[in-house]
Amino acid sequence: MSPPQPPTQPSLDGILARIRRASALRAGPPARLLAVGKTQPAEALAALHAQGQTAFGENYVQEALAKQAALAELGLEWHLIGPLQSNKAALAAAHFDWIQTLDRAKLVPLLARARPPERGPLQVLIQVNIDDEASKSGCAPEAVPELARLIAQHPALRLRGLMAIPAPDPDFDRRRAAFRCMRRLFEALGSEHGGIDTLSMGMSDDFELAIAEGATLVRIGSALFGPRGFRPRASRPA
């Protein structure tokens, strides 16, 4: 085993080029990049912003609030991509621009009620558990239409589409099949509701495959920032 290597500088251009190449091989506009900053310090996000990145995903509400405060003047777009507990819904509705993990009816009124009117509608994606029986996150595919109708009743929420985290199956054909199921659900949702334009799927090791199958937003962490959990010696807390 070689010792852990320090991450190289975030390489936004390289990832954007791969996204553009993958997007050019299919119909529709290029997929957007969501930079996933979990466990990364605010300075790493700021460095990526300096290269032009504006949309950032966070998994934990508390961790995100600290970075949002540190980076407030940058005007970043914040997406919650981690599981949302009911007792954090009000906080999340007030501090994020997008919630990608709405997966149960109970969250809908909690988010709608807590959204500050001056921030405009909260952009939401329904998270679907497409194939991962071990995961407790995400609704069943069959539950999407009902959840979508519920969301559409709340002007404080704007339904934009679907999100999924397929099981990290080493068999890429199975991942492709999961992405393809999501694409069909997404198209069905779009035929029932206006404004459906976002299919969030694909991470560092499979985003090109996800784009080929119709992803409009890819969520990338380690390929951008290097391995998670690494802290330069100087900034390690005493």
Ligand X SMILES: *Cc1c(COP(=O)(O)O)cnc(C)c1O
Interface residues toward ligand X, by CB under 6 A: 36, 38, 59, 81, 165, 203-204, 219-223
39 or 156: CB nearest ligand X? 39
Closest distance of CB 220 from ligand X, Å = 5
Closest distance of CB 207 from ligand X, Å = 8
11 or 204: CB nearest ligand X? 204
196 or 220: CB nearest ligand X? 220
Closest distance of CB 49 from ligand X, Å = 18
Q: For residue 35, list its beta bridge partners.
A: 56, 220
Dihedral sign for Cα 43, 48, 51, 54, please: negative
* Structure token pair of residue 13: 């251009």
The candidate with the shortest Cα–Cα distance to 126, out of 114, 139, 110, 112, is: 139
Owner of token pair 């029986």: 133
11 or 59: CB nearest ligand X? 59
Closest distance of CB 128 from ligand X, Å = 13
126 or 220: CB nearest ligand X? 220
Closest distance of CB 203 from ligand X, Å = 4
